[in-house]
């Protein structure tokens, strides 16, 4: 019987037009903890993501 590896992912929901730095902080913290962050922009206007 073998073991399978499951990748853990967490959706980070944010309005990037006003909370881009905070969302990046959360994503970086999740990455350091071994979790894959999935950043979802809930802004009503388009904006740039680095």
What average pLDDT does this structure show over 13-25? 94
What average pLDDT does this structure show over 2-18? 89
Q: 39: which strand partners?
A: 12
Task: Classify residue 18: in a domain, yes or no.
Answer: yes
Task: Classify residue 23: in a domain, yes or no.
Answer: yes
Residue 30 is part of which domain span?
9-41
For residue 45, the model assigns a pLDDT of 76
Separation CA 41–CA 39 (nearest Å): 7
Task: Classify residue 15: in a domain, yes or no.
Answer: yes
Task: Classify residue 32: in a domain, yes or no.
Answer: yes
Q: How many domains does the chain have?
A: 1
For residue 39, the model assigns a pLDDT of 96
In the structure, how many helices (H) and strands (E) does the chain have?
A: 1, 2
Residue 11: which of 32, 31, 39 has the closest Cα?
39
Task: Classify residue 28: in a domain, yes or no.
Answer: yes
């Amino acid at each position: 019987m073998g073991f399978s590896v499951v990748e853990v992912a967490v959706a980070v929901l944010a309005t990037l037009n006003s909370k881009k730095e905070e969302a990046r902080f959360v994503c970086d913290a999740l990455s350091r903890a071994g979790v894959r962050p999935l950043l979802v922009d809930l802004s009503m206007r388009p904006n740039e993501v680095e």
